[in-house]
Amino acid sequence: MAAGGGGKAGRLQVRKAARGGWTPAKRAAFLEHLAATCNIAASARAVGMAPRGAHALKARDAAFAADWAGAIEAAYETLEARLLAYALGDAEGESEVESEAEADGDAEAESRGAHFDPRVAVQALGFRKRGGAAGGTGAGTLCKRVSLAELEAVLVARLDALDAQAASVTGDA
């Protein structure tokens, strides 16, 4: 039992201490799941907690908030890599290692889902560029739908630009 502050008459109020809660193990598992899925609600449920509790912990714990931001960034980087793999001809946007991990029943690979939709990936990355739910211009609006050919053309142009930039740095013209 934990003692609380005084009531109107200055008496102590007694309440039960929280059981379990956000233990270090639950925090780590939540952040790992969040980095794999970029899904806050699913990550909270995966560790037996409510999404609102995750948000409350983030609001009161600066270290957890920083780890949360890092997990979201890692998830976006994974999404970018899968989109790039898709653009380069890997039909599902996965590497052989990821495919083998899914075949072996790897929980992290399964949490990403077997289906990869490049249109949804582009929308998610657009949401990130605009600042996500935290604000930024156009936050919460969806990107326009583009054809697969348009998506591939944009990605190939960006790859060509990166290749030219790398060639200029290394002196290979």
pLDDT of residue 116: 73
pLDDT of residue 29: 96
- Model-wide pTM > 0.75: no
How much is the average pLDDT of 110-115?
Answer: 52
pLDDT of residue 23: 94
Q: Shortest CA distance to 93 belongs to which of 77, 113, 122, 116?
A: 116
How much is the average pLDDT of 64-84?
Answer: 90
How much is the average pLDDT of 117-131?
Answer: 78
pLDDT of residue 132: 58
Domains of the chain, residue spans: 23-170
Per residue in 8-64, pLDDT (tens digit) is: 667 887 766 567 799 999 999 999 999 988 889 999 999 999 999 999 999 999 999
Burial of 59 (0-12, 13-18, 19+ CB in 10 A): exposed
Per residue in 84-102, pLDDT (tens digit) is: 888 888 755 454 544 554 4
Helix (H) or strand (E) holding 30: helix 24-37
Q: 21-30: long-range contacts at Cβ-Cβ below 8 A with a sequence spacing of 24 or more?
A: 22/49, 22/53, 22/57, 22/64, 27/57, 27/64, 27/67, 30/54
What confidence category does residue 80 fall into, taking pLDDT thresholds of 50, 70 and 90?
confident
Mean predicted lDDT score pLDDT of the chain: 76
